[in-house]
Chain A
Amino acid sequence: MPEMNYDHIVVRYGELSTKGKNRKDFTRQLTSNIRKRLKDHEKLTYNTLHDGLFIKLNGEDYETIREKLKDVFGYSYFSGAIRVEKDIDKVKEVSLDLARKHNIRTFKIATKRHDKSFPLRSDDINRALAGNILHNTDLTVDVHDPDLMIYVSVDKDFIYVMDEKIKGAGGYPTGINGMAMVMMSGGIDSPVAAYLTMKRGLRIECIHFASQPYTSKQALDKVLTLAEKLSVSQEEINVHIIPFTDLQLAIYKTVDEPYCITIMRRMMYRIADRICKERKIRVITNGESIGQVASQTPESISVIGKVADTLILRPLCMMDKLEIIDIAKRIDTYETSILPYEDCCTIFDPKNPVTKPREDKCLYFESLFDYEKLVDECVANDNIVNVSYRKADEEDESIF
């Protein structure tokens, strides 16, 4: 890839564009999220318009910004762009220059006219620019499979010339759809669920059930590391660490072994539900996927979920493990997730967990001990840790 002298980045909204009256909120949230992600680049200036967000580089390094932009949800694609005045001769000059910089044989021009009042139609512009390049180089046009696409966008005040379209992560700007609480074990699935939750515009907090001393500090650190990795999409994440040991021990003392996991999961939902209500969080999400383990059969999910009346969404519900792993690898949580530290679900592993639990049996087991007091204690002892990749970077900076 040759070095391009981009002076702008053009971000296009995509799915956002379909949202009629909420559009202003969406573009504002998106711009705000992008500004936060790029806040180290102080020289950037932003112009949020109807058709896109225009970021002026003012000398900031495009390559670095390009990687960071990919962490933000809620836009369709972006391009490094060269801004030109609305003068076709100037566009000719810039597009020719661009074509010459690439080591290619064929090209194609694709113009999009956002400003319909511009006197030349898209097709006229394509012809004018292609003609100029054909005349001045040995290149040829290939409309089907060109080596280089040159995109020209005629916007309100300027024309932008681009040579790449970088697909964004998609989704909605994180935060636009309120808050969600993600149940985070530290395994492969829950970070993926967290990612997909943020992708759908929900700002997340995470809840983790820690069973120290049965689980180690490393198991907890692993969850915090995962949250840190995920925080690039919303700057910081509150992780609720719930001391779960006493409740867990009470369950294993009281409940028949096959029902232990079922009851344990019900307790987790109860605690998550309580904390959501306290914090006005309207959604719980987690990494459950149908059939994956005994507690994730339709019967189990149904019986377990009944204890919470906060909306529960399960983004991975219909996904295969391999699909989940693909995403985990893509978002760089996989390697951390597979570190071999016991979490609270694996430490008390019953031999024959029930796959079709009955609610009446659950209620019976739960009537045998004063779980409400223990749930209260868990909620009261919620330890909230604020995690951010920025803090981690700063710490690293001082040593590495």
Chain B
Amino acid sequence: MKVYLDAVSTTALDEKVRETYQKLLDEYYCNSDALYDDGVAIYDMQEKSRQLICSMFGVKKDELIFTSGASEANSLAIKGLALKHRDRKHLVTSIYEHSSVYNSFRQLEEDFGFEVTYLNPDEDGHITAEAVKNALRNDTLLVSIMQVNNEIGAVNDIGSIAAIVKKHPGTYFHCDMTQGVGKIGLDLSNIDMASFSAHKIHGLKGSGALIKKEFVQLLPLISGGQQEYSLRGGTSNALVNIVLARTLRIALENREKYHDHLLQLHDRLHDGLKDLVKINYDKGLVTLMNIDTPIPSEVLLNALNERGIMVSSKSTCGSRKNEPNRTLHAMGYDEDHAIRVSFDYTNTIEEIDYFIDNLKEILKQYA
């Protein structure tokens, strides 16, 4: 039996998305910027997709840039904005952002002379509006705070943070909503830029978008032609962009449909874990739990892996590096014993039970 409990890392492709993508691949290959019929047909579908996604997020039609995923969207938002507005030198973010956000800021700091304030989460795991407010300066250009932390699942009050930044002249607000999309709704009315990727919601890898309000000026990171409002050169990955609308629609439908199922999975997992391990964090995203195990996480990971169970010890994007984990460190958790268990609607109660049973055995054997 294989049990996948790492949904925060990525998800399996939805069957309907796969079918649609396959159908498009079989039928279309032309360049979406070509002016003959087959090219125009692809272009029209891509623009229809853009329009549908924008309306799902309640933004205007031209306020979405298709990207290769959230990492690119985050890089474009942060570096693109900063390099376009070099007169303001101060930036604010948090210490526990995804590496694509954090390293963008580090690069701006180290190579381009920006000053960055890295906010720490409070003891509840949140970046508060108060903390953001205190960090703002007259020359603050950008605040970037994630909606849901990818390692502990803490859900930030983005509405309050965005409202604070909105009132501060000349300061933009960006939100990495990758872990929140399709799970927790987000009102984008005060948010200038927001990023997400498709593969976290059963979509294709290499697909994502940056929502960018029309007044926000960016410097393109990829120079090229007219694609994506000249902000991202290169022949459009049009078929992938076309299926993003359906991916998102299915995710939103499933959010309603599986609401109760997810709560059941959560409760089953929580009940099973609470006497076995210390639960580091379970106050945020229903589908993510960070736990502290009595044996080193690496050992546990290997033992679970032998039994076909897939979980992570930390963010997959940093899994091969030996740097200290920013999130766990900031929260004061023991990163050598932390495990992240995450699931989604495709998981079953039986799988949760299988995981708990195996965990019990492993702990009995090695703890």
> Which residues of A are interface residues toward B (Cβ below 8 A)?
216-218, 221, 396, 398-400
Contact B245 A400 (CB under 8 A): yes
9 contacts between A and B (CB under 8 A): A217-B40, A218-B40, A221-B40, A399-B20, A399-B24, A399-B246, A400-B49, A400-B242, A400-B246
Chain B, 226-279, CB within 8 A of any chain A CB: 242-243, 245-246, 249
B149 to chain A: closest CB distance in Å? 31
Query: Residue B249 contacts which of A217, A218, A398, A400 (CB distance < 8 angstroms)?
Result: A400
Q: In the complex, which residues 195-253 of chain B have their Cβ closer than 8 Å to any Cβ of chain A?
A: 242-243, 245-246, 249
Residues of B within 8 A of A217 (CB): 37, 40
Chain A residues with CB under 8 Å of B243's CB are 399
Q: Within the complex, which residue of A216, A218, A221, A400 is in contact with B48, where a contact is CB–CB below 8 Å?
A: A400
B35 within 8 A of A: yes
Q: A218–B37 Cα gap in the complex (Å)?
A: 9
B304 contacts across to A, CB distance below 8 A: none
Q: Across the interface, do B35 and A399 meet the contact criterion of CB distance under 8 Å?
A: no
A218 to B44, CA, bound (A): 10
Please, which residues of chain B bring their CB within 8 A of the CB of A221? 40, 44
Interface range, B side: 10 to 19
Does B301 sit within 8 A of A, measured CB to CB?
no
Q: How far is the CA of A221 from the CA of B35 in the complex (A)?
A: 13
Is the C-beta of B83 less than 8 angstroms from some C-beta in chain A?
Answer: no
Question: In this complex, what residue of A is CB-closest to B20?
Answer: A399
Q: How far is the CA of A274 from the CA of B49 in the complex (A)?
A: 41
Asked if B52 is at the interface of the complex by the 8 Å CB criterion, the answer is yes
Docked Cα-Cα span, A396 to B40, in Å, equals 16
**Which of A218, A398, A399 has most chain B Cβ within 10 Å?**
A399
CB distance from A45 to the nearest CB of B (A): 29
Give the CA-CA distance A217 to B20 in the complex, in Å.
Answer: 26
Kindly identify, within residues 14 to 65 of chain B, every residue whose CB is under 8 Å from any CB belonging to chain A.
Answer: 20, 23-24, 35, 37, 40, 44-45, 48-49, 52
Residues of chain B at the chain A interface (Cβ within 8 Å): 20, 23-24, 35, 37, 40, 44-45, 48-49, 52, 242-243, 245-246, 249
Q: Give the CA-CA distance A400 to B244 in the complex, in Å.
A: 8
Q: A392 — nearest CB in chain B belongs to which residue?
A: B48
Which chain A positions have C-beta within 8 A of B20?
398-399
Q: Nearest Cβ distance between residue A372 and chain B, in whole angstroms? A: 33
Task: For the complex, give the distance between the alpha carbons of A217 and B45 in Å.
Answer: 15
CA A103 – CA B44 in complex, angstroms?
45
Residue of B nearest to A216 (CB): B35
A216–B243 CA distance with the chains assembled, in angstroms = 27
Inter-subunit contact A396/B48 (CB<8 Å): yes
Q: Is the interface of A mostly helix, strand, loop or mixed?
A: helix
Known: A217-B37, A398-B20, A400-B249. 4 other contacts (CB 8 A): A217-B40, A221-B44, A396-B48, A400-B52
Cβ–Cβ contact B242 & A399, under 8 A:
yes
B363 to chain A, nearest CB (A): 47
**Which of chain B's residues has its CB closest to A335's CB?**
B61
A185 to B48: give the CA distance in the assembly, Å. 23
Q: Which of A216, A218, A398, A400 has the most CB of B within 10 A?
A: A400
Tell me the smallest distance from the CB of B17 to a CB of chain A, in Å. Answer: 11
Docked CA distance A328–B242 (Å): 28
CA distance in complex: A232, B297 (Å): 60
A332: shortest Cβ distance to chain B, in Å?
A: 12
Chain A residue at minimal CB-CB distance from B36: A217
Q: In the complex, which residue of chain B has the Cβ closest to the Cβ of A217?
A: B37
What's the Cα separation between A108 and B308 when bound, in Å?
Answer: 68
Contacts of B44 in A (CB 8 A): 221
Bound CA–CA A24/B217 (angstroms): 61
Alpha-carbon distance A218/B246, docked complex (angstroms): 25
Q: Please, how many angstroms separate the alpha-carbon atoms of A396 and B44 in the complex?
A: 11
Distance in Å: Cβ of B143 to nearest Cβ of chain A: 33
| Shortest distance from the beta carbon of B58 to any chain A beta carbon, whole Å | 17
User: Complex Cα distance A221/B40, Å?
Assistant: 10
**C-alpha gap A396/B49 in the complex (Å):** 10
Shortest 4 CB-CB contacts between residues of A and residues of B: A400-B245, A400-B246, A400-B52, A217-B37
CB distance from B25 to the nearest CB of A (A): 12
Q: Provide the residues of chain A in CB contact with B246, threshold 8 Å.
A: 399-400
Chain B residues with CB under 8 A of A399: 20, 23-24, 45, 242-243, 246
Give the CA-CA distance A396 to B243 in the complex, in Å.
Answer: 11
- Distance in Å: Cβ of B56 to nearest Cβ of chain A: 11
A228 vs chain B, min Cβ distance (A): 13
How far, in Å, is B237 (CB) from chain A's closest CB?
Answer: 16
| B42 → chain A closest CB, angstroms | 11
A400 to B241: give the CA distance in the assembly, Å: 11
Bound form: Cα–Cα A400–B49 in Å:
7
A67 to chain B, nearest CB (A): 14
B contact residues around A216 at 8 Å (CB): 35
Question: CA of A315 to CA of B23 in the docked complex: distance in angstroms?
Answer: 45
Q: How far is the CB of A302 from chain B (nearest CB, A)?
A: 40
In Å, the complex CA distance between A221 and B36 comes to 13
Nearest A-chain residue to B245, judged by Cβ? A400
- Minimum CB–CB distance for B305 against chain A, Å: 38
Cβ contacts under 8 Å, A396 to chain B = 48
Q: How far is the CB of A55 from chain B (nearest CB, A)?
A: 27
Across the two chains, which residue of chain B brings its CB closest to A396?
B48
- What is the CA–CA distance of A399 and B23 in the complex, to the nearest angstrom? 9
Give bound CA distance, A216 to B35, whole Å. Answer: 9
- Find chain B residues with CB under 8 A from A400 CB: 48-49, 52, 242, 245-246, 249
Closest to A399 in B: B20
B52: chain A residues within 8 A (beta carbon): 400
Measured in the bound complex, the distance between the Cα atoms of B193 and A253 in whole Å is 55
For B48, list chain A residues within 8 Å (CB).
396, 400
A213 to chain B, nearest CB (A): 11
Shortest C-beta distance, B252 to chain A (Å), equals 13
Chain A residue at minimum C-beta to C-beta distance from B21: A399
Q: How far is the CB of B172 from chain A (nearest CB, A)?
A: 27
Chain B nearest CB from A294 CB (Å) reads: 31
Q: How far is the CA of A375 from the CA of B305 in the complex (A)?
A: 77
A114–B245 Cα distance when bound, in Å, is: 49
Q: How far is the CB of B229 from chain A (nearest CB, A)?
A: 16
Taking the closest CB of chain B, its distance from the CB of A120, in whole angstroms, is: 45
A399–B45 Cα distance when bound, in Å, is 9
**A216 CB to nearest chain B CB (Å):** 7
| Alpha-carbon separation in the docked complex, A170 to B190 (Å) | 38
- Least CB distance from B236 to A in Å reads 16
A398: which B residues are within 8 A, CB to CB?
20, 23
Bound state CA distance, A396 and B245, in angstroms?
11
A397 → chain B closest CB, angstroms: 10
Q: In the complex the two chains form, what is the Cα distance from A400 to B48 in whole Å?
A: 9
Q: How far is the CB of A333 from chain B (nearest CB, A)?
A: 15
